[in-house]
Every structure is written in C-alpha cells, then in structure tokens.
A and B are shown apart, each in its own frame.
Chain A
Amino acid sequence: MNDNLAHSENTTEHERIESLAAAYALGALPETEPDFKEFEALLESGDPFVGHTLEGYFNAVSLLADLAPQNDAPASIKAALLTKATSPSYQQNGFSHRLAQSEADKAALPLERKLKTKNRTIIGISFVGGLLVCTLLALNVSNSAKLDRSNDLMKALLHQTDSLRGLTSAVTNTAPTSSNGDVSGFGIDKALVGPVISMFQEGSGRKINLSTHTAPSNDMLYFSPKRKVVVVMRGELAPVDENHTYELWSQVGSGAPKPVGTFRIDANSKQPMYAMATNLDAVDSFSLTIEPKGGSQTRTGPVVRASRVTTARHM
C-alpha cells in the first residue's frame, strides 16, 4: 500500500516536472508565468530527472524548426556577421579571442599598462611570503565584483591590507577535509598551498572572468599550467544542496570536457577560493557544472559558468 502510494506520488511529481519541462522547451514558460520560478528552482536543483526530461523535449522541439517554410537569408547578413565578429570594437566589448586579445593588450592604454606593472611591483614588495599573497588574492576575489579587472590587485592591496593579515593564519592552518578533492572551511588543501602561492607570487598564472550563459559573472578563475593548479574565486556562485557539488571541467575546442576537480558551497560557506590540482597541457575553455555528490566523470549537470581561455589575462 505504501509502495503504491509512493509510486503514485512519484508519478504525479514526474508528471508535474514533465509538464513544466514541456512548456519550458516550447518556450511557453516565460518569466511572467506563475510556474517559471518553480521550474527554475528545479533546474538549479540538479535533479537528473529534470535534466533528462528537458533534454528529450529539447531534442523533439528542435525538429519542429524543420516545419517552417524554407528560405535563404539575404547574402548581406553573412558579410555583416563576419565583419562584426572580427571587428576590434566587438572584441573589446568582451568577446575577444586569443589573437584579438593579444592585439588589444598591445594597444592597451598606457595607464592600464602602468597599473599592471604597478600591481606586480606592489605584490612583490608588500607580500613577503607566499601565504600572504595567497590570502590577498582570496580577499581580492571576494570583493572583485566591484573591482576593475586591471586594478583589482592594487585596489585590494590598498584597501584590505589590514584584513589580509588577520586572515593569514586561517589559510595556513586549514587542512583538507575529504578524499575526493573537495575543500571546505576558509582555506585550501594543504598540498595545494605551495603551488597556489607560487602561481600568485610568480604572476605566472592567468585569470578569467567566468560567465553565465547570458552575462559575465563576478566569479573568477586563476590557473597555471606551470604550477598545475586551478583556483576558482567565488563571487556569485550559489550554494548547492548536500547531494550535489560543483565540478570544474577543462576542454580543448569542442572536445570532451575533462574533469578538473570538485568543490562544494553550502549555505553557510564563506570560503572565497577553491583550489584544485590538475594537469593543463592543453585547454581552450573551462566550464563549471553542478554534479551529484562526489562528482562525475562526464558532465551531467547544467553548465552554470564557463569561459574560454582566449579571454584570459595574465595576472
């Protein structure tokens, strides 16, 4: 009896999810609809049934596109597209690629270049010892939302030096807490402290602003192929429930994403940085998904953040 009841409730819940997913896939669930928030919450929950159902519906719905009477687009659109995609103004608005970024760096305003140089100098002089530098970056990122990319280190230094000193011991005293690579508390896995410090000390790493599907976020990623370490600096990443974890992936082109590491953010977490060890011999982009607890070998959850390496800047 209880089994039947449970089955019935489960079926009803599944039907509810199917109904929401059908409307969403068809585009019939805009934000103004009463059910929108409920489905958005379901999506963010990482429930596999939700994802599976939605994927199946998207697949079916996309074929409805073939029903439209066929027409070729005017030839002028292609020319306009390629012109716009490769124009400097478009790239400088945040859509730059590797070569364009290189050119943009060369063309950077003298003041910006000066600030970059000043950043490195200040870091070198002011932070004797890598742990302090590491802590600086941690705090820097926790406040990076409001900081200009090119000035963030310097501003963090000017405004937060006192706070940094107070947090140094927190970093140095933190131990790893799980065997699957997760980190918790304020600090990072002890084994990674050295590489992380080296990355920040040397300025050998690169930093990327992670984007959502629709816009840049305040979440940052620092990585160093040389030091074989990646650090995610939390800006806006939301907590996940106890059955899920964030998982970072590296990808070459559109090839299969490779798992880098996992980390959890719970409702009480104030940890601003999450470090993961990884080999990065080749990487074109990073993505962040929500996966079942313990992580996955292939991506199963929704991509919540991503960025291509071509948009990275040197630290």
Chain B
Amino acid sequence: MLYLPPIATNNPQFPDADGAIRSNGFLRNTKVTGAENDDLVLLTLVARADAAALGKLYDKYQRKIYSLVLRILRNEEDAGEILQDVFLQVWEKAELFDRDRGSFSTWLATLAHNKAINLLRSKRAKKQSLEVNHDRDEIAEISSDLMIEHRTALDEQIETSEREVMLSLLSKLTEDQRTALIMAYYNGYSQTEIADSLGVPLGTVKTRMRQGMIKLRELVHERQLSTF
C-alpha cells in the first residue's frame, strides 16, 4: 500500500490574504497560500486534460524534483525518466491529490522520492551487491556533499537561500540523527541496513530516526510560523 503523503503546510491560523478561491462554482473552505493557490488552479486544469497546465506545473517544479532524484540516483538518464514518470502520474492521478492534507509540492517531492528510492534499490538488487558501505568516510561524504555551497546565477538565489535555511536547520540535529536521516532519505538505506552499516543496534537507529524527525518537524514548524 502506498500512502500518498499530502500534509498541511498551510497553517489555518495564518491564512493568506487571497486564500479562498472559487473553482467551478464551488467555494473552497481552506485558506491556502498564493503559490499553493496557483498550483491548485493548475491541478484543476490538469484534471481536465489541459496539457498546457501540466507543462506549467512541470516548469515550476522540474528543477526541485530533478535535483532530488539526480542526487539520489546519481545518473542523469535515470533521473530524467523518474522526472517524466512523476509528472505522468500527476497527469494521470491529479484527483488523488488531497489539498486538505498538504501542499502539492510535498506530494510531488514524496512521489519522486518514492520512485527514486525504489529504482535505486532495484538496481542494487540486480547488482547482487548491496552497497551498504561500512566506512564512516562514506557517510561523511554524503553529508559534506549535501552541505556544499552551490551558489550559481542570481536567479538561483532564492533556491540557494532555501537550501541554506534547510542546512542550518539540519545542523541543529545531532550528527548521529543527521546521518540516519540522510542515509535513509538520500541513499535509500532501510533502517536495518543503516544499523548494519553503522554497526549499531537496530533500536538505536530507530531512536535516532524518531528523535531526528521530531526535531526536524519542530524546526520546520517554527520556520513556517516565522515566515508569516
């Protein structure tokens, strides 16, 4: 069973000024931000087979999604296929998006992450050699790779800024928590594999993941509140 995520990123206590929109005669009750509003309008059109709307959603999110899956798969061809597959699923199942439970961006990222991780694991299985690296240098490389500054053109400043914020949030986790989260999210390791890799009991990994996620959730929540 695949549980599609959708989470409420919009806090109803801090509604956006232009939150409510009308769609085909139906008044939407939940306030959403302007950006989410745009997504919902485009999704409505996608649900009605508007390929141009799909193209606009693609333009808006291709960078985020492609970057994510490329980092996971480290293969441009595979990343491109996953990217296309994700947006075909948007095209196919736009009605499954539940805006009451989260933003389209979250839904999309989770969909892409699931597909990328599944492909990664499938390739590992075919190789008959699970690449669980027992060397802590590998883990350090994962972290440092993610932490590398990627300042590019001016039009990327906002994204870079977002990245810096996330890096600063992540730095508030302990190293053990951060390692567990990154190995799972970006390298597709299961909790058992992480335990084997780090040479620690499975229960320890579970605790690190749980505490790390709780901390990250709190930090993200604080950040969302501070942006209003």
Q: Are A303 and B98 in contact (CB under 8 A)?
A: yes
A100 to B92, CA, bound (A): 13
**B window 176-193: CB within 8 A of A:** 181-182, 184-186, 188-192
Q: Are A60 and B194 in contact (CB under 8 A)?
A: no
Q: Are A27 and B113 in contact (CB under 8 A)?
A: yes
B123 interface residue, CB < 8 Å from A?
no
Within 8 Å CB of A82, what residues of B? 51, 54-55
Within 8 Å CB of A59, what residues of B? 7-9, 102, 106, 217, 220
A256 to B44, CA, bound (A): 11
Chain B residues within 8 Å of chain A by Cβ, number: 101
A313 interface residue, CB < 8 Å from B?
no
Q: Are A95 and B92 in contact (CB under 8 A)?
A: yes
Within 8 Å CB of B55, what residues of A? 78, 82
Whole-angstrom distance from the CB of A245 to the nearest CB of chain B? 18
**B window 159-203: CB within 8 A of A:** 159-160, 162-163, 166-167, 169-170, 181-182, 184-186, 188-192, 194
Chain A 16-33 interface 0/1 with B at a Cβ cutoff of 8 Å (1 = within): 001101111111111011
Q: Are A257 and B4 in contact (CB under 8 A)?
A: no
Given A26-B184, A33-B190: A61 and B110 within 8 A (CB)? Answer: yes
A73 interface residue, CB < 8 Å from B?
yes
Within 8 Å CB of A56, what residues of B? 7, 217
Whole-angstrom distance from the CB of A44 to the nearest CB of chain B? 7
Chain A 65-84 interface 0/1 with B at a Cβ cutoff of 8 Å (1 = within): 11111111110011011101
A43 interface residue, CB < 8 Å from B?
yes
A282 interface residue, CB < 8 Å from B?
yes
Q: Are B3 and A302 in contact (CB under 8 A)?
A: yes
Q: Are B80 and A74 in contact (CB under 8 A)?
A: yes
Whole-angstrom distance from the CB of B38 to the nearest CB of chain A? 11
Within 8 Å CB of B94, what residues of A? 254, 308
Closest to A24 in B: B3
A64 interface residue, CB < 8 Å from B?
yes
Within 8 Å CB of B43, what residues of A? 253-254
Most chain A beta-carbon contacts within 10 A, residue among B88, B95, B96, B110: B95
A13 interface residue, CB < 8 Å from B?
no
Q: Are B110 and A26 in contact (CB under 8 A)?
A: no
Given A70-B159, A254-B47, A254-B97: A60 and B191 within 8 A (CB)? Answer: no
**B window 139-158: CB within 8 A of A:** 145-146, 148, 150, 152, 156
The 6 closest A-B pairs by CB, nearest first: A253-B44, A97-B49, A285-B95, A58-B5, A28-B184, A59-B7
Q: Contact residues of A with B, CB < 8 Å?
A: 15, 18-19, 21-30, 32-35, 40, 43-44, 54-74, 77-78, 80-82, 84-86, 90, 95, 97-100, 211-214, 251-258, 281-282, 284-285, 287, 298-299, 302-303, 306-308, 310
Q: Contact residues of B with A, CB < 8 Å?
A: 1-9, 23-26, 28-30, 40, 43-45, 47-49, 51, 54-55, 58-59, 62-68, 70-71, 76, 79-80, 83-84, 87-88, 91-102, 105-106, 109-110, 112-114, 117, 121, 145-146, 148, 150, 152, 156, 159-160, 162-163, 166-167, 169-170, 181-182, 184-186, 188-192, 194, 206-207, 209-210, 212-214, 216-217, 219-220
